[in-house]
Amino acid sequence: MSPVSILLNLLWLLFGGLWMAVGWGIAAVIMAITIIGIPWARAAFNIAVYTLLPFGQKAVSRAAYTGVPDVGTGPLGEIGNIVWIVLAGWWLALGHLIAAIILAVTIIGIPFAWAHLKLAGIALWPIGKMIVPAEDAPLRYPPRR
């Protein structure tokens, strides 16, 4: 991880990252207690760790990263994401959105607000995603030739 990413991650913890990671952890524990929520609990724990240190990492589709579709990236994953939105995704996304609005008021808070907005999107659709180092993430667009 680069020194800039380390600095941004330390500042991130002060500007709301720690509290939102706790929220993700609570959602994961509640899902794990229900037994049938274990697939969502695993995704929530992974994203809780990502919420602690978002700079220098990226959330990508498992199918795009590995090149192989799986259960979480197919139709069952879509159904799982819909269930997730109803059970926990909406309030986690709302927490990230509120934090983003508060941080966007200052110029210094804009990068952190942007990170909260990205995490709000992940909060709505976490199944089928994996967290990878930013330099290992697949390119959004193919390189020009």
Q: CB under 8 Å to 33, separation ≥6 — which residues?
A: none
Q: What pTM does this model have?
A: 0.82
pLDDT in tens, 66-98: 888 877 778 888 888 898 898 888 999 999 999
Query: 63 and 78 in contact (C-beta within 8 Å)?
Result: no
Structure tokens at 111: 């990068």
User: What pLDDT is attached to residue 76?
Assistant: 85
Structure tokens at 132: 């990878």
User: What pLDDT is attached to residue 62?
Assistant: 81
Confidence of residue 144 (pLDDT cuts 50, 70, 90): low
Q: How deeply is 104 buried, as exposed, middle or buried, from its count of CB atoms within 10 A (0-12, 13-18, 19+)?
A: middle
Nearest alpha carbon to residue 96 among 141, 59, 132: 59
Would you list the domain boundaries of the chain? Answer: 3-135
pLDDT in tens, 84-141: 898 888 999 999 999 999 999 989 889 899 999 999 999 998 888 888 887 777 666 6
User: What pLDDT is attached to residue 145?
Assistant: 64
